[in-house]
Chain A
Amino acid sequence: MKAIVNVSLKAGVLDSQGKAVHHALDSLHFNGVEDVRVGKQIVLQLDESDKEKAMADVTKMCEELLANTVIEDYEIELV
C-alpha cells in the first residue's frame, strides 16, 4: 500500500512561497488565479495491508516528524 502525505502551511500562516509563485503567475498573465499555496508531498511505500492500521501509523508519523503541527496541516491518502 502507498500513502501519499500532503503537508502545507496552515490557513492563516502566511505562505511566502505561495505568494511569490502567485506574483510570478500574474506577471506571466495568468490572471485568473485567486490564491496559491505551496506545500510538499511525501510518498510512503508501506508493507501494511490493513487500511485502518496504515492510517493510524501514518498519522503518528505526521504528528511526530512529517509535519510541524505548530505551522503545518497534513492530509493522508492511501492508495
Chain B
Amino acid sequence: MKVSILQFPGTNCEYDTQHAFESLGATTEIIWHKSETIPTDTNLLVVAGGFSYGDYLRSGAIAKFSPVMKAVKEYASKGGKVLGICNGFQVLTESGLLPGALKRNDGLHFISKHHTLKVENNDNIFLEELNNGDVVNIPIAHHDGNYYIDDAGLAALKQNNQILLTYTDAEGNVKNPNGSVASIAGVCNKEKNVFGLMPHPERAMESILGSADGKAMLEGFMKSC
C-alpha cells in the first residue's frame, strides 16, 4: 500500500498524515506541488490539510493550478483513489473533482475542537469499516468549512449516496458547527473514488490524544487500495 501525500506551500498536515498511514503499515511519499507526475505505484493520493497559498483569494483557489493538479485530475479520471482532508477537501471542490464549495463558517470563527460525526453512507471504500449510523469522534480545525451546494446538487448527493459524514452530537442527532448545508462534513464523487472531508481523521489515531476513531476510517483505504 503506497500513499502519496501532496504538499503545497502552506500545507501543514502532511507529516501527521504520513505518520497516520505509516502507523497502519503503509509506505508513504510526500509530493511537492511542482511535480508534474505522481508516483506510478500510488494506491491512494492524499491532499493534506493546511493553508495552501495562505488561503489567498479563496481556500484552495490557487492550489488548484499547481503543476501537480493536472496529474491528480488524470489519476482520478482513471479511477485512482483520492482523499482530501480539510484544505485538501477545499482544493478538490475548487478543482471540480468534488461537487459543492466551502465558504466561511456561519459564526465567522475559526473552530478547532473534537466533534462527533455520523456515518451516512458506508457503501464506499473509505467508510466500509464502519456502519451507517455509527458516531465517530474526530477533530475539526477550520475557518472555511461551511459546505454549500444548491438544492439540485444536494438531491443528487442524496440519490447517489455521496454524503459520507454529517456533524452530529454524540447520539447522532444533527448538530451543525459551521452552517454546512444538511450538516455535511464530507462527500465523495459519483464514481466513489474521490473523497473529501473537513474533519481530520489523521489526528484521531491514538486514544491518548483524545480519540482513535480515525483509524477505522483510514483502515478502509488500507484494505481496499
Contact = CB atoms under 8 A, between A and B. Distances in A.
Nearest to B149: A70
Contacts, number: 32
A74 B93 CA distance: 19
A77 B100 CA distance: 28
A17 interface: yes
Interface in B74-112: 93-94, 100-101, 103-108
Given A65-B65, A70-B100, A16 B57 contact: no
Contacts of A16: 103-108, 146, 179
Interface in A41-71: 65-66, 68, 70-71
B103 A13 contact: yes
Contacts of B192: none
Interface residues of B, number: 18
Contacts of A20: 108
Q: What is the size category of the interface that chain A forms with chain B?
A: 10 to 19
Given A65-B57, A65-B61, A68-B94, A17 B101 contact: no
Interface in B179-193: 179
Contacts of B105: 16
Interface string A1-36: 000000001000110110010000000000000000
Chain B interface, >50% SS class? loop
A47 to B, nearest CB: 22
A70 B57 contact: no
Nearest to B93: A70
A70 B101 contact: yes
Contacts of B103: 9, 13, 16, 71
Interface string B108-148: 10000000000000000000000000000000000000101
A17 B57 contact: no
A68 B106 contact: no
Nearest to A40: B57
Contact of B148 (A13, A17, A65, A66): A13
B192 to A, nearest CB: 21
A13 B103 CA distance: 10
Given A65-B57, A68-B61, A71-B148, A17 B100 contact: no
22 contacts: A13-B103, A13-B148, A14-B106, A16-B103, A16-B105, A16-B106, A16-B107, A16-B146, A16-B179, A17-B104, A17-B108, A20-B108, A65-B65, A66-B57, A68-B61, A68-B94, A68-B101, A70-B93, A70-B101, A71-B101, A71-B103, A71-B148
Top 9 A-B pairs, shortest CB-CB distance: A70-B101, A71-B101, A16-B106, A71-B148, A68-B101, A16-B108, A16-B104, A71-B103, A20-B108
